[in-house]
Amino acid sequence: MSKTFPSHFLWGGALAGCQAEGAWLEDGKTMTIPEVMKFGKVDHKVTRQMKITMETIAEAEADPDTVKYPKRRGIDFYHTYKQDLALLAGMGLKCFRYSFSWARVFPQGDQPEPNEKALAFYDDLIDTIRSYGMEPLMTISHFDFPIYLVKKYGGWSDRRLIDLYEKYCRVLMERYKGKVRYWVTFNEINMSLKAGPKTMGVVDQGQPNYEEMLFQALYHQFVAAARVTKMAHQIDPENKIGCMVAYFTTYPYTCKPEDSLAAQFDDRMKNLYFLDSLNGRPLPYYARAYFDQKGIHLQTSEAELEEIRQNPADFVGLSYYNSMVSAGDTSQLELTNGNVASAYKNPYLPANAWGWQIDPVGLRYTLNHLYDRYNKSLFILENSSGFMDTLEPDGTVHDPYRVDFLRAHIQAMMKAVTEDGVDVIGYTMWGPIDIISSSTSEMTKRYGFIYVDQDDYGNGSKKRYIKDSYYWYRDLIASNGANL
């Protein structure tokens, strides 16, 4: 089947406010989980995402430092967004994915009225995005859970968060009606099992039933997503609400049947449970079996389950960075890193400097797998790989490795569309301008087409420099993918 690539394809770039904006307490905003995350190097090795506890939160609240808490300063996008968007628009982006901050809009999370200064910032940000002909795609919650809601409610483990989130969404969807048509409810909702504080504000304080708390909090998010999807369509029938997972594509390590069984289990409980729940199929049988085995009892109601069935997402969003392997017996397998989750190494694949294995074929496999299961539009909301770039004395940055990575993955995506017949509506490459890494809070791990002269400790001119890959992506978009 050879289909032409869709002419209206949404080529773009994606950022997260909590990794770019800085201005962590400006204009009324209150503290969020990412601003508790310290940057740390031990023996020149970056320490992975630290464990967030009520103690580390209390320590961070007492410490105004913005050097060792890099997400408090980001790349100062809160003040540089006009210049940065002008540079990004120079590539001819059709779509720009960004995120709202709950702690800006409702600093206490549950106060009666929203913070008008926050809405004024987003008014101008969204108007600026649109002024360059870019479609804004806005993530409502992107790893920046408000500390206030952690302390007062225990995050999403409290059912009252459903109403608070619905109120937050109603303010945004009514304010930006007609300006924002693409929404994502929760960034990488399946990260919640790995990073409960970051995504749901559910902090492990040694509770015996912590896993059950995470699944209960997730269930509240599924209910909230269904309600907000229904509300979005009522506010503006043009709204398209996407769900999103970080796709942990996994292969059986060998053709041993036990390895295939393990890969099936991992795919279901790391990926499909979340997407099934957000696409009209709550509590699928395989999840109920898992809960029975683990003694997990969720507080649900038939009315809520019916709301979930009746309000599936309009499109399936995914981030794709790397793939992994599963095996019945993993005792002999070598571990490597992957997006937040550690992964077992695939001997057939190279990796970047952080151990994230590079697998463009896996993207084509994943797109087919998802289209086959959900039979609705897919949107690649993040794809890229971190690299160590060098700013040359003449202000250039030569990054052929970035072009190689993106070219291979875009080729795979285009084959899924034109040869396999998968319906993909957009591709927003992750991090089109260098920002703070989510998992390690470092700057050294760069993604951008635009280099930001700032090191891990915030030192540098903060000037922006165009990398070679910027011109490649510009020409790719101008040719709608022909100039790969």
Q: Which residues bind ligand BGP (CB under 6 A)?
A: 16, 19, 143, 187-188, 246, 319, 339-340, 382, 386, 430, 437-439, 445
Q: Residues with Cβ < 8 Å from 357, sequence gap 6 or more?
A: 322, 323, 324, 336, 338, 343, 345, 346, 349, 350, 351
Select 198 or 364, whichever has its Cβ closest to ligand BGP: 198
Residue with smaller CB distance to ligand BGP, 185 or 319: 319
- Output the smallest distance, CB 14 to ligand BGP, in A: 8
Smallest distance, Å, CB 16 to ligand BGP?
Answer: 4
The continuous run of DSSP H or E covering 332 comes out as none
**In degrees rounded to 5, what are phi and psi of residue 431?**
70, 55
Structure tokens given for 309: 């069935």
Q: Whose Cβ is closer to ligand BGP: residue 286's or residue 401's?
A: 401
CA distances from 360 to 320, 357, 406 (A): 9, 10, 9
HSE toward the beta carbon, residue 378, CA cutoff 13 A: 28
DSSP element (H, E) containing 452: strand 450-452
Q: Which two tokens stand for residue 184?
A: 């994502």
382 catalytic residue (yes or no): yes
DSSP-based three-state secondary structure for 6? coil
| Catalytic residue flag (residue 212) | no
At its nearest, how many Å lie between ligand BGP and the CB of residue 389? 14
**Which residue of this chain has its Cβ atom nearest to ligand BGP in the complex?**
438
Burial class (CB in 10 A: 0-12, 13-18, 19+), 26: middle
Q: Exactly one of 188, 304, 307, 442 is catalytic; which is it?
A: 188
Q: Which pair of tokens denotes residue 376?
A: 């609705």
Both tokens assigned to 391 = 């700013």
Among 20, 136, 11, 9, residue whose Cα is nearest residue 431: 20
Residue with smaller CB distance to ligand BGP, 195 or 202:
195
- Distance, in Å, from the CA atom of 425 to the CA atom of 11, rounded to the nearest integer, reads 9
Question: What is the rounded distance in angstroms from the CA atom of residue 70 to the CA atom of residue 21?
Answer: 11
Q: Choose between 336 and 439: whose C-beta lies nearer to ligand BGP.
A: 439
- How many Å apart are CA 483 and CA 475, to the nearest integer? 6
Query: What is the nearest approach in angstroms of ligand BGP to the Cβ of residue 385?
Result: 8
Closest CA to 71 of 114, 17, 123: 17
Q: Give CA torsion, residues 85, 91, 97, 100, to 10 deg.
A: 0
Give me the least distance between CB of 420 and ligand BGP, in Å please: 26
Instruction: Output 138 or 262, the one with its CB closest to ligand BGP.
Output: 138
CA distances from 370 to 192, 274, 312, 317, 447 (A): 20, 12, 15, 10, 26
3-state secondary structure of 12: strand
Smaller CB separation from ligand BGP, 382 or 399:
382
Catalytic residue among 35, 135, 307, 382: 382
DSSP state of 394: T
Which residues are known catalytic residues? 188, 382
